[in-house]
Amino acid sequence: MSVVLPEIRLPGCEPGAGHITQPESADRPYVWSGPRLELSLTVTAARGDFDRDEAARAMGVLWLPGYRYAFQSLPSAQWTVARSDDVSGSLGALEGLCNGTGTYLTLNPFRQGFTRPDNGGFRSQDIERRVWFLVDVDPHRGKGEEKKVNATDAEKAAVFEVLGATMEHAERLGWPAPILIDSGNGGHLYWRVDLPNNAFGQQTLRSIIKGWKAILDTKAASIDPGVHDAKRIAKLPGTWARKGPHSVERPHRMSKILVLPDVVPVPLELLRASAGLNPTAVSVPSVPGNTSPSPGAGSLSLPLTVSPPGAGGYAEAALERFPVDCGG
């Protein structure tokens, strides 16, 4: 990242009397060193800047070969079609879509033969089938304009408590290990599925999210209940989350893949059981600290139990079970 800084003139310092030290990473401050002064200048990521290697890695992980997908920039809603087997071309298309608050990719493939319409955006009926189950956890940051801020470190920690609890819970149900992604201000879990793009697929994922949310939400962070639509977009790893102005307390952060286990699809039988789509139903025990379970949670088909966190919290305990890959 290149940054142009204005000439610095300070009392008692001649121009050129000091120098600027470039940081080791983009989230570190530049430092001016002069004869009698050290001035820290925090510089955020340049608009349009993104990690090409991490973005390419994410496309290779989340996109099926031979299909078309989409990138979208928010809040402009500008979008473009990309091909999963044309990484170079897809990265080129990204260069014009990283100027907003966030850059996103579609999770499910477009139907074969899909072409971008002359007007409007893509629709759920443009999706061929569902290949990912997404759990999206965000911190509680107020409502309306109050929500349009970056997360603090404490808010991110609350998110990872819920993510860790969700991973533990899914493991108890017999689910395989998920992909874990830091979305910048929150976190995502991805399980590979193979469901049709129809009412059954929608009902299955919606019911699982509703049930998990009822027992895993905390006062500080919660599962987004509305991410089960077929045309769902999610933060693209390797791009920045700029929910609001950058500050030391609420910084801009880059999304990245944190845990990448061997991807094993969730069997249909487990999906049906977790969604309550069999004739046997049991009650859902409550979780300490969760005083307001959602209505209808007791209709789920399997016991939903979550142990209290240990000394290191849910996230630490859950992450110890899986190899962590933080490659850049």
In a domain, 236, yes or no: yes
Task: Give the pLDDT of residue 227.
Answer: 93
Q: Which of 143, 312, 146, 282 is nearest to 215 (CA)?
A: 282
* CA–CA separation, 44 and 253 (whole Å): 9
Task: Give the pLDDT of residue 38.
Answer: 46
Do 196 and 58 lie in one domain? The reply is yes
CATH of the domain at 145: 3.30.70.1790
| Full domain range(s) for residue 22 | 17-45
Do 57 and 128 lie in one domain? The reply is yes
* The total number of structural domains that make up the chain: 2
Task: Give the pLDDT of residue 196.
Answer: 94
Do 30 and 129 lie in one domain? The reply is no
Do 115 and 235 lie in one domain? The reply is yes
What are the angstrom distances between the C-alpha of 322 and each of 12, 112, 155, 196, 217?
56, 35, 23, 30, 23
Do 76 and 23 lie in one domain? The reply is no
In a domain, 6, yes or no: no
In a domain, 58, yes or no: yes
* CA–CA separation, 169 and 153 (whole Å): 24
Do 219 and 270 lie in one domain? The reply is yes
Q: Which of 113, 106, 103 is nearest to 52 (CA)?
A: 103
Task: Give the pLDDT of residue 302.
Answer: 31
Do 191 and 312 lie in one domain? The reply is yes
Do 203 and 130 lie in one domain? The reply is yes
In a domain, 255, yes or no: yes
In a domain, 324, yes or no: no
- Check the CA dihedral 114-110-233-123 and report its sign: positive
Q: Which segments of the chain have a pLDDT < 50?
A: 1-20, 22, 26, 30, 32, 35-44, 279-328
Task: Give the pLDDT of residue 99.
Answer: 85
Task: Give the pLDDT of residue 21.
Answer: 52
pTM: 0.72
Query: What is the chain's length?
Result: 328
In a domain, 10, yes or no: no
In a domain, 314, yes or no: yes
In a domain, 7, yes or no: no
Do 187 and 244 lie in one domain? The reply is yes
Do 64 and 41 lie in one domain? The reply is no
Do 116 and 33 lie in one domain? The reply is no
Do 38 and 57 lie in one domain? The reply is no
H or E element that contains 162: helix 153-172
